[in-house]
Amino acid sequence: MSSTYILVSGDQRIGDLVSLAEGTTSTAVVVGPRAVADDVAASGVDAVVWLGEPTPGLPAEAYAPAVAALVAQARPDLVLASTRPGDRVLAGTAAAALGAPAFTLVTAVTVAEGAVELTRAVFGGIAQRTERVTGPAVVVVDGGPAVVGGSAPVTEVAAEPTTTVTVVESRAGDRAGVDLSRAARIVTAGRGVRAQDDLGLVDALAGALDAESACSRPLAEGLGWYAHDRYVGVTGQHVAPDLYVAVGVSGQLQHAVGARGAGTVVVINSDKDCPYFAEADYCVVGDLYGVLPALTEALS
């Protein structure tokens, strides 16, 4: 039977990875405390390989060579990892050890007859392509929710971490982390917001809607006003909320693709020729500095 290895670095939320592994024998390799290994064992996988209690002061990435060696020895047909930073490092090291290609933006996976067939978004998300890989493949996608669906055996394997990677400093972010892929309502700020202090207008509207605040790429990667986990776009979060409100977002393709799964899209922009209006269900032409306070007051 075909086999899948799921790489986990301290976070048991792997529901979507377990779903992709259906039809294969799944083994989770866990870097992190025993409690995480036990939670992963109850998530529906067939077996768990736990690398023991992590060494204090070392990040999960320090165990990447050990994880890669395990995967290379097992040579599974498919390797899955979430888009979380530590998991991406484990996936990249495993891909190098296997000499296997790595894929992102994957929506479906089938393993059969020694080959992996993948369907994934291409050309910025405007099309899908099905590809067939002979030999092992590595897939990095959103991990999904934490789930409970079984009780797999946990085997401890001693692993020697590399000491060339250490934690120098840890700082809490200004904003709490969020899983936008699970949000029912999202309010996204774009470059039309002129100053960081003005994000309070966006947050206030999000609060009135019981929504999460998010942003377009320039506000996260250019200005640093938001953490990367709140950036919606091709290389950021891919979201599918019931309601998506875009505030001052022009709607360039790389952003719109990230929110293409949204149910109802409301766009607020002062430019009547804003490209995003072509994809919106409701268009509000107006200055966000007047529209947002009025909407927030009405909703409150």
Which pLDDT tens digit goes with each residue over 167-190?
A: 888 776 655 567 788 899 999 999
Q: For residues 109 and 116, is the Cβ–Cβ distance under 8 A?
A: yes
Separation between Cα atoms, residue 140 and residue 9, nearest integer Å: 13
64-74 and 85-98 helices, crossing angle to 10°: 40
Mean pLDDT of 66-70: 95
Confidence check: pLDDT of 246 > 70: yes
Residue type, 176: A
Q: What is the length of the chain?
A: 300
Helices (H), the chain: 15-20, 34-41, 64-74, 85-98, 199-208, 217, 253-256, 288-299
Domains of the chain in sequence order: 3-156 (3.40.50.620), 180-299 (3.40.50.1220)
The CA distance from 61 to 59, in Å, is 5
Element (H, E) at 8: strand 3-9
Sorting pLDDT into bands at 50, 70 and 90, what band is 124?
low
pLDDT per residue over 188-214, tens digit each? 999 999 999 999 999 999 999 999 999
Distance CA 66, CA 52 (A): 12
CB contact at 8 A, 63 and 161: yes
> Taking 90 as the threshold, does the pLDDT of residue 81 lie above it?
yes
Band (293; pLDDT cuts 50, 70, 90): very high
User: Look-up: residue for tokens 């640093």?
Assistant: 224
Mean pLDDT of 239-265: 90
Q: What is the mean pLDDT of residues 81-110?
A: 92
pLDDT score recorded for residue 261:
85
pLDDT for the residue numbered 175? 56
In this prediction, residue 176 carries a pLDDT of 57
Residue 1 has pLDDT above 80, yes or no: no
Q: Please state, in angstroms and as integers, the Cα–Cα distance from residue 45 to each residue in 92, 149, 154, following that order.
A: 22, 8, 11
The tokens of 135 are what?
């030999």
**Mean pLDDT calculated for residue range 259-284:** 93
- The answer to whether 120 and 106 are in contact (CB under 8 A) is yes
CB neighbour list of residue 251: distance below 8 Å, 6 or more residues apart: 267, 274, 275, 276, 277, 278, 279
pLDDT given for residue 273 in this prediction: 92
- The count of C-alpha atoms lying within 13 angstroms of the C-alpha of 165, restricted to the half-sphere facing its C-beta, is 14
The mean pLDDT of 91-96, rounded to a whole number, is 96
Taking alpha carbons only, the member of 265, 181, 279 closest to residue 231 is 181
The whole-chain average pLDDT of the chain stands at 90
Amino acid (one-letter) located at 36? V
Percent of the chain past pLDDT 90, that is, above it, reads: 62
Structure tokens at 26: 């799944």
